[in-house]
Amino acid sequence: MIQMTGIDHTTGSVNERSVFAFKNSEMEGSMQFLRERTGADGVVILSTCNRTEIWVSADPGAGVFEALCELKGVDPAEHRSYFTDRERGEAVRHLFSMTSGLESAIVAEDQILTQVGEALACAREYYMTDKVLEVLFRNAVAAAKRVKTEVVFSHADQTAMEAALKMFAEQGYDPAGKTCMVIGNGQFGKLTAEALVRAGANVTVTVREYHSGVVLIPDGCSRILYGEKMDFFPKCDIVVSATTSPNYTLYYDQVVKALPDHPMILIDFAVPRDIEPEIRELDCFTVYDIDDFRTGVDVNDAAWKQAQAILDEATEGYRSWYANREVISHVAHINSMAADDMSFRIRKSIRRLDVGENEKQKLAGDIASSSGKIAQKMLFMLRDELEPEAFARCVEIIENAYGREEAAYGKV
């Protein structure tokens, strides 16, 4: 059974979400721990700046939330109210909707689609998925791509930085010509730098020393070594940190030694935080985090209904696959028995044909294969007309009937 537990921007603050965030280096051990504790066949961890979700394919009552709290070393009672549990169809629909960006803080943004795909790839890399979660996550990505391609959401912000820039514009702040530093050159950092460049800012991106010779930075940006960031810091008007570092990128003690002589905006897009919270106490800084940027999107009814129709279709497709997944192997067995049955019935007629032995074998094989395909087609037509339970019962009856005939007549 599909089960998930999760915390996101609607249920928990940055501080609360930080407790349950995962770094890439933690993924393998964490998934192994969760699979052992829940007895799951498959585990996927989705961990982003806005959410952490644990997905499992397991027996009912697997205790996913309790296992997560044990992994993180926290008391479940203190954090229960921040989490939402979902299972079966509710969980499936949530994943499809979320992957399409319809449940994001920046509505209709694109990054969550990539993040869901990466979560599946990570679980697959460590052999933590099973067929149920594999098909579920692949279908979610496919459905989200359809929504992105076919549905037009008017003037949706694509990244958190674009949402920030919109808010600054409403406040009368223009980043054009301003000196900006983006700490972090991962996907989030690159998107942030690109948004600032489009806004007319002068952008410098930090790169790690051991990557400095090979890392590509966005067009229009300058680069400095990460270790040189505090020398450049006082010259900046805007500093954005968007890394997956387990440690702060800006420490209070460092910042007080490099105070600017002008007001500065600091933006922390990381979960857990990149900017030490005490820096907020310094008067020369205005500090924002990911939760300060919440934008909606003007979605007309037609676009929303179109997206929901796509998700309805995708959800039903997965439901049908899931309901019939155990029956498929029995259908394959019936196909095989139908082919064998046809081979048994036509072998005397084939032998009497005035053709070579190779031609006889090929003809017999083609006829047997066609019989199996016809049986499969008829069964799948039957599946489309019946409820899953009734279809499974029909397959069972047909398979048993073929089995009894084989036992009676010795057909192989």
Active site residues: 49
In angstroms, the CA 110 to CA 117 distance is 12
- The structure tokens 């504790």 sit at 37
Position 257, amino acid: K
Q: Which residues neighbour 289 within 8 Å (Cβ) at sequence distance 6 or greater?
A: 14, 267, 268, 269, 273, 275
Cα dihedral 255→256→259→263 (10° resolution): 80
- CA distances 338 to 148, 363, 412, Å, are 44, 16, 11
Residue from 84, 60, 63 nearest 2 by CA: 60
- Give yes or no for a contact between 109 and 159, defined as CB atoms under 8 angstroms apart: yes
In angstroms, the CA 93 to CA 314 distance is 9
Task: For residue 132, give both structure tokens.
Answer: 């149920």
HSE of 281, CA atoms in CB hemisphere, 13 A: 7
DSSP 250: B
CB atoms within 10 A of CB 223: 16
Residue from 10, 166, 195 nearest 103 by CA: 10
- CA distances 280 to 86, 266, 315, 339, Å, are 37, 9, 45, 74
